Copies of this chain bind each other. A is one copy, B any other.
């Protein structure tokens, strides 16, 4: 484990390293040089070496990196070697999509229960995960340790749900509702605004159309 705190920019690149190394491992590649890894990830070899030094793993000069070792090392930094109990609030399309993700994507998470307000969903199961009435959330959290919660509700109720999760000792919230959730400092939150990436894509499309003189249709 690294001694000093890793910079935010490097942390944001860590999941990419993990994804690429996992793919390499699946392809049966045992060792990779910083040049080759950089080519695949769109980074320079020197950037790769700096990053990997920065989080404390070392390659052997001229031999490159052991793919599985480096992958496991990064998994350890990210905390993916732990397994967190997770609840999903909102059993609509987004909540179900996350519950149905392939296992390798859910590494680090064990989804234990889902909650919704819709009577048609309450009592059903999604991939074996029971869907409970949202009214049962406080009681469930008091009896089942779930440090992580996924919020996949409409924006109008998301902050209220977040407050109840915090009261239930949830320590990390992955939020898909289209609002920025406010939580106390001891809780971490990641607001995923899917439309932000769509808007940036449409902006780039418009710029590219202008650049290439394509007709605006």
Contacts and interface: CB of A to CB of B under 8 A. Distances in A.
A190 B186 contact: no
Contacts of A109: 198
A202 B84 contact: yes
Given A15-B195, A202-B172, A203-B77, A93 B84 contact: no
A210 B189 CA distance: 17
B11 A200 contact: yes
Nearest to A199: B15
Contacts of A105: 178, 194-195
Nearest to A93: B97
Given A79-B206, A178-B105, A172 B201 contact: yes
Contacts of A209: 171
B80 A202 contact: yes
Contacts of A189: 201
A15 B84 CA distance: 32
B212 A178 contact: no
A94 interface: yes
Contact of A78 (B16, B93, B194, B203): B203
Interface in A153-209: 171-172, 174, 178-179, 186, 188-190, 192-209
Contact of A197 (B192, B208, B214): B192
Given A105-B178, A174-B201, A205-B79, A15 B188 contact: no
A174 B190 contact: no
Given A15-B193, A171-B208, 11 more contacts: A11-B203, A14-B199, A16-B196, A82-B206, A84-B202, A93-B100, A108-B198, A108-B199, A172-B204, A174-B201, A192-B197
Which 9 residue pairs spanning A and B have beta carbons closest together? A93-B97, A79-B206, A15-B196, A15-B199, A172-B205, A190-B201, A188-B204, A79-B202, A78-B203
